[in-house]
Chains A and B, each alone.
Chain A
Amino acid sequence: MEKTYSNKAIIVSLVLPGIITFIFAILAPIILSGYYSTTDFSGLGDFTFIGFDNFTELFKDKTFWTALTNSLLLAVGFIVIQHPLAIMMAALLDRKGKRAEGFFRAVYFLPNVISVVIIAYLWKFIFNANFGLLNNIVEMFGGKGNINWLGTGNAIWSVLIVLIWHGFGWGMLIYYTGIKNIDPVLYEAAAIDGCNNKSMFLRITLPLMKPVIQVNVTLAIIAALKQMETVYLLTNGGPGNETQFMANYLYKQAFSSFRYGYGNAISVVFVAICIIATQVLNVIFREREER
C-alpha cells in the first residue's frame, strides 16, 4: 500500500484531474479576467489594450465605493446581528427545544430551501408602498401606511433585513450541528458544580464552538461580498445606485453597460478583496487561538 502511494505515476494520476479542473475552471478564468481588465472590451467585436485605465477609473468611481461600503455593511450586519442571534437560537433549540426541536429547526431553515426568486418577490410585495403587508400593518396600528420601504433612505436597511433573515437559518443550522457535537457530560458536570445556563453558554458552548464560529464568520463575510441574486431581484441596486453591491455592480457594468473590460477590473479587485478578507480573518482567529 505504501509503495502504491509513493509511486509518482499514481500520485500524478490521482492529482491530475483535480489540477486540470482547477486550471480550467478557476485559474484560467482569473488570468483571463486579469487580462480583459486591462482592455476596453465591450463584449462584442474588437478591443484595445488600455493598461490600468480601468483601475484608475474604478478607484474614482463613486458607485464602486457605495457598492463596497454596502457589501461591508452587510458583512457587519451578518456578524453583529445574524450570527449572535443564530448562535443563541441554536443553543436555545438544543437546550429548550425538546420535542419541537425538529419543527423549529425546519421552520428556521425554510427560507434557505425556497428559491431566491420567490424570496425576493415575496419581500417585494411585503415592502410594496401601495399594497404591501408591512404598510397595512403600520396602518393597523394607526400609522399612515405610506412608507416607501424600498425608497431612498430606507432601501438599504430593507435589503439588509431580507438578506440577514434569508441567511439566518443556514448559520443557525451550522451552529446547531456544532452545539450537538459538544459532549453533554460537560454540561452535566457544570450543572453539578452549580453552573447556571448563562455561564454554561459563555464558558462551555461558546469556547468549544470557536472553530465553527470561525468557519461560519468567514463564510458570512464571503457571502456578503458575493451578494448578488437577492439584491438584483429586489432592487437591482436602486433607487439610483443606493443599494448597489459589488457583484451586482460588476454584472451591471459587464452585461447592461456592455463594459466587459471594466466589469473584469471590478472582478479582479473583488477577488483581491475576498482574498484579503479571508487572510485577515485567518490571522485574527489564529492570534486568538495562540493566546
Chain B
Amino acid sequence: MKKLFSLVLVLAMILSLAACGNKDDDKTGDDNGTSPTTAPDDSSDDDATGEAVTIKVFTNLPDRTTGQGFVEQTLFDSYMAENKNVKIEVEALDDEAYKTKFKAYAAGTTMPDLVSVWGQPGFIDEVMDAGLLQELNAADYADYGFIPGSLDGFSKDGKLYGLARNTDVIGFYYNAKMFQDNGWTVPTTYTELLALADTINAKGIIPVAMDGGDKWPLYIYMTDLLQKIDGTGVMQKTADAIANADFSDPSFKKAAELLREAASKGLFQTGFETTDYGTAKNLFTNGQSAMFYMGSWEMSMATNQDIAPEIRDNIRVFTMPLIDGAQGKATDISAWNGGGYSVTASGAQKEEAIKLLNYMFKPEGWTKLAWENGVCMSAQDFSQFATGNETEVQKQFTELVKSATSLSGTPLGDMGTSEFKTQSSDLTQEVSIGVKTADEYLQGLAGASK
C-alpha cells in the first residue's frame, strides 16, 4: 500500500513536470512572436509542400475596413489572389501598442517578415543599428516614382532598409459650413487665428480639437510654428540642437511661447492635454469643434460614411497661418515622410516578404489605391492617378504640396532617440499647459538631448 502510494506521488510529480514543460514550450513560441494557434501549421505547410508560403505581417493599421488599413488589406488580398500559394497573416496594433510589441518581437529570435516602421531617427535608428532590418536593393525602386528624399529616413550608410508609405502634411481641418454660417474666415496670420478662437469660444464651440493626450501632435505643432518662424532649415536646426544639447536659438523659445499662448487663450478644448486621438477627432466630426489639428492621413474623413454628410462634405484644410514678423511664407509647410515598411532580417520569409513589398509599392499599388480612395498622399508620384473625383480636401493637400517652397521635415520629437521622444513629448505637453516656462522647457529639451 505504501509503495503504491509512493508510486502514485512520483507519477503525479512526473505528470506535473511534463505539464510545466509543455506550457513553457508554448510560452516560448508566444514570446518569439509566433501566433500560438497558427505557428505549427505554418512550419508544417512549408516543410510538407515546399511551396506554400505564409508571410507574417505586423502593422500599425488596426482598422482594416477604412483608411490606410483598408488599402493595405486590399493589396494583401489581391496579392494572395494572384499568388495562390501565399497566405498573409496580419497582426495589427495601434501605434503605441505596436511599438511596444515591436520591441518584444525584436528581443526574440524570429520577427514577423514584413513590419511597419517610421523612417525617423526616434524609431528607426535604433532598429537599423541593431541589425533587425533586411537591406533592400535600391535599384529595384528606381522607376517606382518615389519623391526625391522620401527614402532618406529609411537609409543608412547608403543602404536602403525600408520604403516610405506617405507624404504627411500637418494642418487645421475645418468645417467650412460652420465657418460660412457664422461668417468666420480662414485666418491668414497667427494673431487672426487666436482672435478667431475667441469668437468661436464665445459661441460655445471648441475652436480646435487637439489630441494633446498623445503628446506628439503638440511637438508637431512646435515644428509647424518653427517652420513658419524660420521658413527653411528647421530640421537641420533641430538636429543640430539635439546633437549639441543646445536649444538656445531664439526660434525655439518663440515657438514654445506661441504654443503656450494658443493654449492659454483657449485655442484648444479644455483638457486637451488629456484628450486622446479618437476623442479629439470625434469632437470635430460630431460638430463640437470648428477645427481639428491633424495630419493629411486624416483626409479620409471626407469619404468616411460614418461621419454625418453635412460635416463630411464640408471638411477643408488650411496650414499654420503666418506669424507676424517671422520669415516663413504661407508656402513653407510642415511635411515629412513618416510611416513605411521594412522587411526583417530574422524573418522566416525574407525573399517572399520583399516580393510582397515590391508588389505593394508598384505605382499602381499603394499610391493608386490610397489616392483613389481619398485616404492619403503616397510618398510616390500620384499625379498620374488623378480621377477628377477627388474630395476638396484631397485637392487642397495636393495643391499645398505642389506649391510648397520648403518642407519642415521630421517633427521635433522624432528627431532624437526614443528617450528624447518620451521626454520632449512630456515637456511639450507641460509647456503647453503652463506647468513649465519656455526657458524651463528648452533647458529640459537640452537635458533630454544629452
A contact set with B: CB distance below 8 Å: 1, 3-4, 7, 10, 13-14, 16-17, 20-21, 42-45, 124, 128-131, 146, 148-152, 155, 235-236, 238-242, 252, 255-259
Interface residues of B in 198-235 (CB under 8 A from A): 206, 213, 215
Judge if B430 is at the interface, Cβ distance under 8 Å: yes
Contacts of B138 in A (CB 8 A): none
* Known A17-B13, A240-B429, A256-B421; further 7 A-B contacts with Cβ < 8 A: A44-B103, A44-B126, A124-B274, A148-B274, A238-B426, A239-B273, A239-B274
Contacts of B20 in A (CB 8 A): 17, 20-21
Contact A150 B126 (CB under 8 A): no
Q: Which DSSP category, helix, strand, loop or mixed, fits chain A's interface? A: loop
Contact A239 B433 (CB under 8 A): yes
Contacts of B435 in A (CB 8 A): 152, 239-240, 242
Contacts of A240 in B (CB 8 A): 426-427, 429-430, 433, 435-436
Contacts of B273 in A (CB 8 A): 151-152, 238-239
Contacts of B419 in A (CB 8 A): 257-259
Contact B288 A256 (CB under 8 A): no
CA distance A224 to B313 in the complex (A): 49
Shortest CB distance A28–B (Å): 13
Contacts of A17 in B (CB 8 A): 13, 16-17, 20
Contact of A43 among B103, B279, B426, B427 (CB under 8 A): B103
Count B interface residues, CB 8 Å.
46
Stretch in contact with the other chain, from B129-137, B189-197, B368-376: B129-137
CA distance A220 to B103 in the complex (A): 32
Contact B127 A44 (CB under 8 A): yes
Judge if B106 is at the interface, Cβ distance under 8 Å: yes
CA distance A146 to B9 in the complex (A): 67
Shortest CB distance A25–B (Å): 10
B contact set with A: CB distance below 8 Å: 2, 5-6, 9-10, 13, 16-17, 20, 96, 99-100, 103, 106-107, 126-127, 129-132, 206, 213, 215, 269-271, 273-275, 279, 283, 288, 417-419, 421-423, 426-427, 429-430, 433, 435-436
Shortest CB distance B427–A (Å): 8
Q: Which residue on A lies nearest to B127, using beta carbons? A: A44
CA distance A70 to B6 in the complex (A): 53
Contacts of A241 in B (CB 8 A): 426
Q: Which residue on B lies nearest to A135, using beta carbons? A: B270
A-B contact pairs, 25 of them (CB 8 A): A16-B17, A17-B17, A20-B20, A43-B107, A44-B103, A44-B106, A128-B275, A129-B269, A129-B271, A130-B270, A131-B288, A148-B271, A150-B271, A151-B273, A238-B429, A239-B273, A239-B430, A241-B426, A255-B99, A256-B100, A256-B421, A257-B419, A257-B422, A258-B126, A259-B418
Shortest CB distance B282–A (Å): 9
CA distance A219 to B106 in the complex (A): 35
CA distance A133 to B70 in the complex (A): 35
Q: Which residue on A lies nearest to B10, using beta carbons? A: A13
**Closest 5 interchain pairs by CB?**
A129-B271, A45-B130, A258-B418, A44-B130, A129-B270
CA distance A149 to B100 in the complex (A): 29
Contact A258 B274 (CB under 8 A): no
Contact A42 B126 (CB under 8 A): yes
Contact A10 B103 (CB under 8 A): no
Shortest CB distance B125–A (Å): 10
Contact of A255 among B103, B131, B269 (CB under 8 A): B103
Contacts of B17 in A (CB 8 A): 16-17, 20
Contact B13 A130 (CB under 8 A): no
